[in-house]
Amino acid sequence: MEADELEMVILNKAISENDLCGAKAVIDRHPKVLDVDFGASRGETPLHIAAKFGHVAIVHELMKLVGPEYLEIWDYYGYTPLATTATHTGSIPIATCMIDKNSGALTIPAQWPWLIPVTLAFFGGHNELGRYLYSVTPLQVFKPENGSFVGPEFLRTCLRNGEFDIALHLLQRCTELLFAVDEDGNSTIANIALSLPHSLHKSQLPFLKRWAYHYIKIPSTPTTGHFCVDIQQEGEDKSAGQGIGLRRWVVSSIYNLSGMKEIYKMKLQRTQADEILNLVCQNLMLLNVQKRNMIRIALNCAAQQDNAEFVLRVTKANPELISLVTSVYLNYPIFVITVVEYRKAAVFSLFLCFQFKIMAAATAAKMIAAKETGNNLLHLAALLAPASYLNCISGAALQMQRELQWFKAVESVVDPGYRLDQNKKGLIPLEYFKKNHKKLRAEGEKWMKETASSCSVVGTLIVTIMFAAALTVPGGNNQDSGYPIFMKEKLFKVFLISDALSLFSSATSVLTFLGILTSRYAEEDFLYLLPTKLIIGLSTLFLSIATMMISFSATIMIMLQYNLSRLWFTLPVTLLAGVPVTLFVLLQFPLLVKVFSSTYGPSIFKKKVEEWP
């Protein structure tokens, strides 16, 4: 092995092991190792190696020995040292050192012309470094001049990573990016439609957290009137090693201590997303053909994500855009077809709010679909929903109920003649629904019967037990009168009432479940009839279990009330009697709530525009 190659191996080992003294010794002996193809097949320089391992001291030492042009060298994979830092370690001190040496490295792309270091940092999940690099990257590099993809690709990465404040900050400074396209040909508005739904809608939170979410206030910056982190100041603080600003640190600490950090983050993202959508709405006037086409695609993207707020606010900002969701466009999925076929309830609710538009949309859908299958909009509602949608609903019976709710909702808004239209298979929508849901109906029947069988066994046991308890009352009967000995005791009255309630409710439960077992299981029965029977059966079964435990506890207390030495035994037994009730609540009560909510709770289809946030 030649001496130079040996020295390079030694230097490589020293850098990887963070041996600053060893690395300096090799460089002092052979300064030319800084100029050669150090990594052989990978084309890496010593600076690339040090940046990859994140060794700050070695990077600082190398910066003293090389010129600014050294930071413009690509390795075999097309990465500069700064791009390597952004991709692998996300070290802010290393990035700061490199930028101080050559700020031009911020604009040198890696691999592809649109992957500059700041984009690579966010793409690799190094958000802290990304925020700092954004604060020092020139605005000019993001502008969509000469067909550059840098700005749109950077915005798409920020939106996907949830860095909405940075996306908002850049869009406020460069609004022309809204209609710029990324490398895949998607406009920024389309990427916004795809990325904002999770921020525009609250998650299903417990009551207290929902209350906290409502009352948390997000401050606005006094300079712009909009919420946006002072990126520049934040970047300077981080580059100086001082962490985030004092105000943000205090707020963050408060919400960490009170367990509200996630709620605050949700509200923060909601506020930022709302500002981005406001910015979109402010730039929807005087649109040319190209921009209108971008808006149409963005609306379709919003429909795919069930982002109703995007659709509502965009069409309110420019009512002429409503025609984009009801017109026929070749080679693109019709808006209303996407909504119905993929079960996007929130967006479909907008059609219920504006029924004068659903007819035009239904006609357009019929024109497109009839070319191949002869299906109208109601036929599309009769198709089986995607598995990803059905898997979010518990139980095949509730899935069947949800499918019927969708079919009835579409049926209520289309022209009555659509109900009798035949497709190319000669099936009207209802027949088509039965054919497509045959397997799901069978699975729903099986699920209902298994649930009813299991619960009816429990109900039958309770009926037997409580009937026997009514005949053999605690303490027995008076031999002369035949009346129970403890007839005048208050606890005995509690026993009688709870025993009677348990007996009657369990008998009702058994009969109800028997009715479920003997039902005909037609498709329309899953809408109200079968769920109602299940609600009655589960409710009465729960009542019978609870009253049975009350009856048992009352019996124990009657038997021990005159024996003071055994009163200590009463409380533990009474508490243990609550265990079956608790288990039932934990295991079965959620099912009862889901069935009741799905059948008689708020509809998944909103009726008024005012209900939207």
Is pLDDT at 181 greater than 60 in this prediction? yes
Helix/strand/coil for 481: coil
pTM of the complete model? 0.77
Residue 540 has which token pair?
């009465």
The band of 612, judged by pLDDT with boundaries at 50, 70 and 90, is very low
Specify the pLDDT at position 233.
Answer: 42
> What does the pLDDT look like over 229-242, one tens digit per residue?
444 444 444 444 44
pLDDT digits (tens, 9 = 90+) for 9-35: 777 778 887 788 888 887 777 777 776
pLDDT exceeds 90 at position 446: yes
* pLDDT average, residue stretch 249-277: 71
Q: What is the mean pLDDT of residues 272-290?
A: 90
Q: Determine the pLDDT at residue 133.
A: 94
Q: What is the DSSP string of 426-462?
A: S--HHHHHHHHTHHHHHHHHHHHHHHHHHHHHHHHHH
Spell out the alpha helix ranges (H) of 561-601. Answer: 570-587, 589-600
Confidence of residue 604 (pLDDT cuts 50, 70, 90): confident
Quick one: average pLDDT of 92-107? 92
For every residue of 261-297, DSSP letters joined together read HHHHHHHHHHHHHHHHHHHHHTT-SS--HHHHHHHHH
Q: Which two tokens stand for residue 342?
A: 């993929």
Report the topology of domain 3-200. 1.25.40
Q: Provide the pLDDT for residue 613.
A: 44
pLDDT tens-place string over residues 114-173: 899 999 999 988 999 999 999 999 999 999 886 789 999 999 999 998 899 999 999 999
What's the CA gap between 155 and 552, in Å, rounded? 66
524-580 pLDDT per residue, tens = 999 999 999 999 999 999 899 888 888 877 877 777 665 545 555 666 766 676 677
Tokens representing residue 71 in the block: 């930071």
Residue that wins the pLDDT comparison between 163 and 486? 163
CA angle 298, 293, 166 (to 5 degrees): 45
Q: Which stretch, 23-37, 187-201, 280-294, has highest mean pLDDT?
A: 280-294
User: Domain locations in the chain?
Assistant: 3-200, 327-436, 444-600
- For residue 457, which amino acid is it? V
Task: Please compute Rg for the chain using Cα positions.
Answer: 35
- Categorize the per-residue pLDDT at 198 as very low, low, confident or very high, splitting at 50, 70 and 90: low
> In angstroms, rounded to a whole number, what is the distance separating the alpha carbons of residues 189 and 194?
9
- Map residue 524 onto helix, strand or coil: helix
Structure confidence at residue 324 as a pLDDT band (50, 70, 90):
confident
Question: 538: closest CA among 440, 397, 443, 390?
Answer: 397
Question: Mapping DSSP to helix (H, G, I), strand (E, B) and coil, where does residue 561 land?
Answer: coil
Rounded Cα distance between 162 and 179, Å, is 20
Per DSSP, what are the bridge partners of residue 484?
A: 477
Residue range 324-333: mean pLDDT, rounded: 53
User: What average pLDDT does this structure show over 172-193?
Assistant: 92
pLDDT at 322 (0 to 100) = 77
pLDDT at position 536: 95
Q: What percent of the chain has pLDDT over 90?
A: 33
355 has pLDDT over 90: no
Q: Give the lowest-confidence range in 69-73, 163-167, 213-217, 518-522.
A: 213-217
Q: Which residues pair with 112 in a beta bridge?
A: 110
Inform me whether the pLDDT recorded for 260 exceeds 90.
no
How far is the C-alpha of 530 from the C-alpha of 37, rounded, in Å? 75
> Tell me, what's the pLDDT at 65?
85
Highest averaged pLDDT of the listed ranges 145-149, 476-480, 488-492: 145-149
| b/e sequence 483-494, b meaning 16+ C-beta within 10 Å | ebbbeebebbeb
The mean pLDDT value for 509-537 works out to 94
Tell me what the pLDDT averaged over the chain comes to.
Answer: 80
| pLDDT (tens digit per residue) in 388-436 | 899 989 889 999 999 999 999 888 877 788 888 888 888 999 999 999 9
> Which pLDDT score, from 0 to 100, does residue 530 have?
95
